[in-house]
Chain A
């Protein structure tokens, strides 16, 4: 028998919930009414002779005194010798229970299942992963059929042309990817043939063992600690935030240790997947490094050892994306990601050329090779469209994204469309969000759904240029953007931390938990409700669709897809996009 005691004038809701959970678990219970004195409670306890007494206290006023009085009376009556006494409620902290000699104390936020587990002598559910999770295939069920035949025809033809064009060319990155793959298959380091295709800084790191500036090798002790840290499994303490919607967070603190620690915190707070960020200089440097490397600034260095260490630190059900979209190591990054067990990667020739600083010709050759590698590893990839942040209209970005999707399908890969939910320059200049942040973002998803049967993963992250440095504002707007993705039936969403608008230092673990908490609270608030768009959403959908059609038609008139990028068809200098220069002149005919 378990005696439930609300030691409070009125509050007994928590105990009623615990009573129900205990009875469902097969326990007999008696719930006393509120507002009984300690003496009256002890008298009832002597009569009932329970195995446990659960006392709740909500009011902070005189909580310690009243609980102490109850403990003294229980001692005097000999109840403590045969009964376990537990306190809980808003006014209780575990330290108070210990101080007053109770057997346990449960503070705010305790779930009924935790109390039941304690009474039954089991570990708390939060430590054993209440919810059984499995990795979700974001591409399952999609046919990649163009529902809009006219757009599909244009995209397919441009993809065919690009495939033929790229098939006649190669680059240092394409060749390095082959060498890296062979080395990984044979479990060895790369050799001089690889280094001949690298920049001097990479060659020096291999030959002298001296890592680039602001990086250092982890000591053997640190490597051991990292492995130990990675093996600690915590499960998913929080339930999924939104039914069916897979929630991704980004990491890339620079240090594999910090990354693993942040990942474990984020996953415990409700993240389903994580996205690896590498340093920006990595995208501008020919060649990838090896070894256990930590970096003092943003972005975690991609090496086989670092990726493996991070992989070992992931819970088995956590989706892991390694980005390969924007630099001079695109195909090799996909190879490394595939060998390291990544679930997803990220490739987009147009974005990497217009927003990532890489020469369009170079990234076109590398991007096609990267897609082929992604297909070989059966690794889906998102087609990111963050060139919108440079000022490229959404429709132009989507036009190239649809060509990438058609291309991916042709090489047997599984692409995921990634519209950016953001207050972009196009939106600001056009006043498209003067009333709300919903209609224009919703129009993006609606237009893509109309054109292609493919998964949609808004990112990355959602809410760009809407977040401020205030963590409440930042978390709330992030939570609402994530819910918008859910309302629109998206398959996944990538969210920022509440440090999104802060540039003075690394993102903190607390900032990651801020937005995860906000997403969960917002999703809980809305549940399965729907939203109603204003008439503006339809106007935006037509605008974006017209931009897509215009860009694809214009691209067909260009000598090649690549030339169309140089010519500004998918984002012009007037828009704010500039073709990148990294890797220019490095493509050669086969």
Chain B
């Protein structure tokens, strides 16, 4: 199982959720985006961030396949195990 195979089977987006030890929601937002960018995803956004106490719970998202694009997973619809 390769990374490209796994990515091709992502229906639309990948969300990453974590809890950052940090000083502000803005810092958490920047770290979440840098995490996704560092993993090689350019289409990154922060869906939610909430700062309380020692850190922030954050969910960041990258769209692998946006509506209207040409989907890698379509190739599997003839006999694969997707969708």
Contacts and interface: CB of A to CB of B under 8 A. Distances in A.
Contact of B63 (A228, A294, A506): A506
A506 B63 CA distance: 9
A505 interface: yes
A504 B45 contact: yes
Interface string A251-269: 0011101101110110000
B48 interface: yes
B20 to A, nearest CB: 15
Most buried by B among A471, A504, A508: A508
- Contact size class for A? 20 to 34
Nearest to B83: A261
Contacts of A508: 11-13, 15, 61
Nearest to A215: B68
Interface in A350-403: none
A409 to B, nearest CB: 39
A295 B57 CA distance: 33
Interface string B40-83: 00000101101000000101010101111111001001100001
A469 interface: yes
B47 A506 contact: no
B48 A257 contact: no
B11 A509 contact: yes
A225 B68 contact: no
A505 B48 contact: no
A262 B71 CA distance: 14
Q: Which 10 A/B pairs are nearest by Cβ-Cβ distance?
A: A254-B67, A469-B48, A296-B68, A255-B67, A253-B67, A261-B83, A229-B77, A508-B13, A504-B45, A225-B74
Contacts of B12: 253, 258, 506, 508-509
Contacts of B15: 508, 510
B47 A469 contact: yes
Interface residues of B, number: 23
Nearest to A295: B68
Interface of B: 11-13, 15, 45, 47-48, 50, 57, 59, 61, 63, 65-71, 74, 77-78, 83
A250 to B, nearest CB: 14
B15 to A, nearest CB: 7
A216 B50 CA distance: 39
Given A225-B78, A506-B63, 15 more contacts: A225-B77, A228-B77, A229-B77, A254-B67, A257-B71, A258-B12, A262-B11, A295-B67, A296-B68, A297-B67, A470-B50, A470-B59, A505-B61, A505-B66, A508-B13
Task: Provide the main secondary structure of the chain B interface.
Answer: mixed
Given A228-B78, A229-B83, A258-B12, A505 B68 contact: no
A215 B69 CA distance: 10
A510 B47 contact: no
17 contacts: A214-B68, A222-B70, A229-B74, A258-B12, A258-B65, A469-B47, A469-B48, A470-B48, A471-B47, A502-B47, A505-B13, A505-B63, A506-B63, A506-B66, A508-B13, A508-B61, A509-B11
B78 A265 contact: no
A216 B70 CA distance: 11
A510 B67 contact: no
B21 to A, nearest CB: 19
A232 interface: yes
Nearest to B48: A469
Contact of A296 (B57, B67, B71): B67
Interface in A508-556: 508-510
Contacts of B68: 214-216, 254-255, 294-297
B81 to A, nearest CB: 10
Contacts of A232: 77, 83
A294 B63 CA distance: 17
B13 to A, nearest CB: 5
Interface string A291-334: 00011110000000000000000000000000000000000000
A491 interface: no
Given A261-B11, A264-B83, A222 B48 contact: no
A383 to B, nearest CB: 29
Nearest to B65: A258
A575 B57 CA distance: 38
